[in-house]
Chains A and B, each alone.
Chain A
Amino acid sequence: MPPERLLGLVARGDEGAFEQIYDRLAGAAYGLIRRVVRDPAQAEEVTQEVMLEVWRTASRFDPDRGSAATWVLTIAHRRAIDRVRSTTASVAREQRVVEVEVPADYVADVVEANLERERVRRCLDGLTPLQRESITLAYYGGYSYPQVAGLLGVALGTIKTRIRDGLIRLRDCLGVTA
């Protein structure tokens, strides 16, 4: 069953459907959150909050605005950012910037081999270095675009454009259809 329909069932209180959503998307949510907050214990906490929010607010999911995966992972990304922007973790994060380089290391922890992952990596490799860094700092790093501009020493307008151009290139490379 497509996850969009599963979410419809979740909205009606179907715990079995929720388990399926969890099994399909909690890994991506956890992986993304861990990249942003870094600390595995905090990442677990945030992931639990996110999945609970998916359960609570499933009735607000609107398939016209995007896929179920996009909806769940947008919540995950936002909650991860809330966490790092609100806590003292942000202090420590300043020093971690260099580590955020991505995406070489994320293959390591993966349990199952994933062709999709390989494809994403190849497409990321096809971007210009500035496009790639802007996108990975913003998305995996959880930085706002002025912060990204500051980190890379580039004008604000340039960052906006690079993120957009890079995403468009990624989209076309990955064959995402809107």
Chain B
Amino acid sequence: MRLLRENQQGLTGVYAVGAMTSEAEREKFERHLRRCASCASEVRGLRDTATMLALAAAEQPPPELRVRTLAQVRRTRQLPPQVEPRRGSGAKRWAPRLRLAVPVTVAAASLLAILVLAVAQVRVQRSLHQAQAQNAAIAAVLATPGARIVTGPTSAGGTTTAVVAVARHEVVVTTTGLPGLPAGRVYEMWLIGRTGARPIGLARPMPSGHTVPILAAGLARGDRLGITVEPAGGTRHPTTTPIVVLPLT
């Protein structure tokens, strides 16, 4: 095992200069990279170094090539972004429905995988129409240029993640790993601004350990996200100390 790993590690340079013998070998190494953070970081630097070699070999291509390429681009359809649910056959079945017409801000792609899974899971509990409307709304937030991901731990454990689309004044919030609560208590989410806290929804747990993503509109500059523990059904104003307060803008 150790030997195997060393063998793979020795391939960082070969991979970076594109000198693998076959696609199969390359894919095997890429699987290794996903498990080996130090290899991945070395590969990144070495690939950028190889890129310098290519930049140094630059030549002026014939001008007609530019004309031809641009003409071809104009009549060529683009691939949609890859939207891969993490696991679970149920999620897979619904995934194609959730494919976006516009690509997601790249940074949001991994979060999207969680959200797609999340939405796919609630999908069974709701009407098709409702679920699709919700999907489209969430997808729109994720696809907003300049959308940012904000994450932070909560004092109760677990993590909360928000995708903030300032341009749309919207935010999508999900959490993972929040501890279970006694019967009759729920996690409630708030947007906290200058004029106080406004409830945006209750965190509903899913089997994956995430909570159902909540979409909140009317986000203002300076707003923060808060989560508190409240009586079942939620309250109109927070009654306990927040387990997390996350600046959003």
Q: Which residues of A contact B (CB under 8 A)?
A: 8, 11-13, 15, 18-19, 22, 26-32, 34-35, 44, 47-48, 51-52, 55-63, 65-67, 69-70, 73-74, 76-78, 81, 103, 106, 109-111, 114, 116-117, 120-121, 135, 138-140, 142-146, 148, 157, 159-161, 163-168, 170-171, 174, 176-178
Contact = CB atoms under 8 A, between A and B. Distances in A.
Contact of B78 (A13, A22, A114): A13
Contacts of B60: 27, 30, 109-111
Q: Is the interface of B mostly helix, strand, loop or mixed?
A: helix
Contacts of B53: 120, 135, 139-140, 170
B54 A167 contact: no
Interface of B: 10-14, 16-21, 41-42, 44-62, 65-66, 68-70, 72-74, 76-82, 102-103, 105-107, 109, 145
A66 B47 contact: yes
A66 B77 CA distance: 25
Main secondary structure of the interface of A (DSSP, over half): helix
Nearest to A177: B45
B48 A176 contact: yes
3 shortest A-B CB distances, which residue pairs? A164-B13, A178-B45, A120-B56
Contact of A167 (B41, B46, B78): B46
Contact of B17 (A57, A117, A163, A178): A163
A76 B54 CA distance: 10
Contacts of A61: 106
A178 B47 CA distance: 9
B61 A135 contact: no
A11 B103 contact: yes
